[in-house]
Amino acid sequence: MTEINKLPMNLQFFADPNPEPNPNPEPAKEDESVTLTQKELQSKLDSEADKRVTKALEKAQADFEAKLQAKLDEAKSEGAKLAKMSASEKAAAEQKAKEDALAQRESELNKRELSANVKDILSEKGLPASLSDSLVALGDADKINDTIGVLSKSIDDEVNKRVKESLRTNPPKNNSSVLGGDNDPFAKVMETYKKK
């Protein structure tokens, strides 16, 4: 092992220059074992669970109220904008909002259809359907088909390679399978067959 070069440090340099004395030093506590009955233990566990659930509910309520307030503020600002607009501007804004909503729905429908098609292709190729979400993220059907083809080919190649490795055997070491040698059991049979 090599020795690591160590730098000398004055650790006191990092200490508090004016430490405050503790007016009420606590005596050292020893580990005290507390024995509880099953009922007492269950009541303590229940009270702790109630505290945690209450805390989680309060947090969820606060999050919900914050989101609700943000939506209300957004709606109020949108209403104020609409109030300031002329009739033609209002119509144009409403039309744009409808087109945006329609484009959003169309995008979601296309994504669902693409996901269903990808799952069908994966099941036809014998690949796991869990890959569909990752493939749908590519977005383009041609890219997805190319990727599925590459995945299928690489998985098939790997499976074939491993099957060949597992089927590969070594020849016996005691020359029992050597035909044509001194120990060939078929040599005598072949000689009698040739003579006839």
SS3 state of residue 176: coil
Dihedral over Cα of 60, 65, 68, 73: its sign: negative
Per-residue pLDDT of the chain in tens (196 residues, 90 and over written 9):
556 666 666 666 666 666 666 666 665 555 667 787 888 889 989 999 999 999 999 999 999 999 999 999 998 888 787 777 777 887 888 889 899 999 999 988 988 888 888 888 888 888 888 888 888 888 778 888 888 888 889 988 999 999 988 887 776 666 555 566 666 767 777 777 777 6
Q: Which residue ranges make up each domain of the chain?
A: 107-162
**DSSP one-letter string for 55-78:** HHHHHHHHHHHHHHHHHHHHHHHH
What CA–CA distance (Å, rounded) separates 48 from 31? Answer: 22
What pLDDT sits at residue 84? 77
Residue 4: predicted pLDDT: 65
pTM higher than 0.95, yes or no? no
> Residue 151: exposed, middle, or buried by beta-carbon count in 10 A (0-12, 13-18, 19+)?
middle
DSSP state at residue 137:
T
